[in-house]
Homo-oligomer: A and B are copies of this chain.
Amino acid sequence: MQLEKYKIDAHNNDLLSAHQRKLAFISSEIENSEAIIQKLVNFQIAIPSWALGTGGTRFGRFSGGGEPRSLEEKIEDVGLLHALNNSSGAISLHIPWDIPQNPQAIKVLAAQHGLRFDAVNSNTFQDQPGQEKTYKFGSLQNVNRDIRKQAIEHNIEVIKHGIELGSDSLTIWLSDGSCFPGQLNFRKAYQNTLESLEEIYAAIPDNWKLFLEYKAFEPNFYSTTVGDWGQSYSYVKKLGDKAFTLVDLGHHLPNANIEQIVALLLMEGKLGGFHFNDSKYGDDDLTAGAIKPYQLFLIFNELVDGMDARGMDHTKDLGWMIDASHNVKDPLEDLLQSVEAIMMSYAQALSVDRIALNKAQDENDVVAAQEILQNAFRTDVRPLVAEARLRAGAALNPVALYRNLKVRENLINERGAKAVSTGL
């Protein structure tokens, strides 16, 4: 399905005067609104290929329809999102499901949609048909050297696919761990994993990054071998300068202070990027900002502050990606909502009066510090986010336009009501 420019323009025209009124108001409230809008225009959040279909749980999956049946259709879907919001200009692939048959053609197709290839993702959390050895008891951690070798080679293959497409990073989320006390020797599991990572790291091109994600639990329910930020940090410190920790918001124990973790990893020069989502109980993979929007803002507050302190480029020096599942929502609508929530949090973080905040902190004026942060959070920055879209040729209200254009109905017509996305 193609989203013609004139349809976006028509949509924007209808909403324009209301938008301009709101924009005028908020611009009078926020001093640096123009600079914020510019940064919002440039900010891009990658969409993972596996998020384009209906998610599920171990108890079942209630597919919608019109899901992408191929890598080409996945790119088309992300292209649609990017046309609607101009903030989703990258796609993150999942190997083996997304192995391109014709990389050159895929690159051309992506370029047509204005998309680049974000981090490539290896997968050893399940066995593929025809796979020689099983990952039932782990991959990079496995007590069996041959299984580790198979997993290492898979990762190296993923890097190669990434190179072909122009990606420049590899994300390793390792589901390895154990379900019962005694199953693993923790030290050996760590050492095996470290050795495996070192072999993968050796295959990482010089201009690439290796992101090592951590997760507290699931699918293993007693221990995870890269289980928290401290463990990921201890691996990436040993690996070298191209290795970084990746933070997924849903991968923590209850009540963890994620914004502090983010600040410290940034300080250490070891924060690599983000998987955005939201959660109430565990790795619920809900829409970003749907449950704890203030936490999302506080994280961005640390990101902006920490990146600026290190002179980092907001758009390039960290990896930004959504990693959510969509059990009860249309996946594309869900992704539009996630991107919107992330952009809002970013805009709010950019609007924080940092001079005043530093002063309050230096004076231990806790009340004032809270007022400053909450003022940024309570201020309605949605018109700034909308204006950034408008300037970039995208839609003032992406979800509304998506619905007006009956995108899902069109996709179902094209692809069928039973089309179920591959991967996950």
Contact B59 A373 (CB under 8 A): no
Quote the shortest CB–CB distance from A421 to chain B (angstroms).
14
Q: Which A residues between 84 and 137 are near B, CB-CB below 8 angstroms?
A: 125-127, 134-137
State how many copies of this chain the complex holds: 4
Closest to A310 in B: B187
Closest chain B residue to A175 by CB distance? B59
Partner of A182, one of B28, B182, B255, B372: B372
With contacts A182-B370, A369-B180 known, is A234 near B187, CB below 8 A?
no
What residue in chain B is nearest A256 (Cβ atoms)? B253
Given A218-B281, A361-B183, A373-B182, CB of A254 within 8 Å of CB of B257: no
- Contact of A268 (CB < 8 Å), options: B56, B234, B256, B374: B234
Name A58's contact: one of B25, B57, B185 (CB within 8 Å): B57
B222–A280 touching, CB < 8 Å: yes
Question: Given A233-B230, A260-B186, does the pair A366, B328 have CB atoms closer than 8 Å?
Answer: yes
| CB atoms of B290 and A180 under 8 A apart | yes
Please give the distance in Å from A302's CB to the nearest CB on chain B. Answer: 7
A308 to chain B, nearest CB (A): 12
Instruction: State whether A328 touches B264 (Cβ < 8 A).
Output: no
A-B contact pairs, 11 of them (CB 8 A): A57-B58, A59-B175, A61-B126, A219-B327, A221-B282, A222-B257, A222-B286, A230-B233, A255-B281, A292-B294, A367-B399
List 19 additional A-B contacts (Cβ < 8 Å) besides A58-B219, A186-B264, A328-B364. Answer: A22-B29, A55-B58, A143-B364, A180-B286, A180-B290, A180-B328, A180-B366, A185-B358, A187-B264, A217-B284, A221-B286, A227-B260, A228-B228, A230-B233, A252-B253, A292-B294, A334-B367, A378-B380, A380-B380
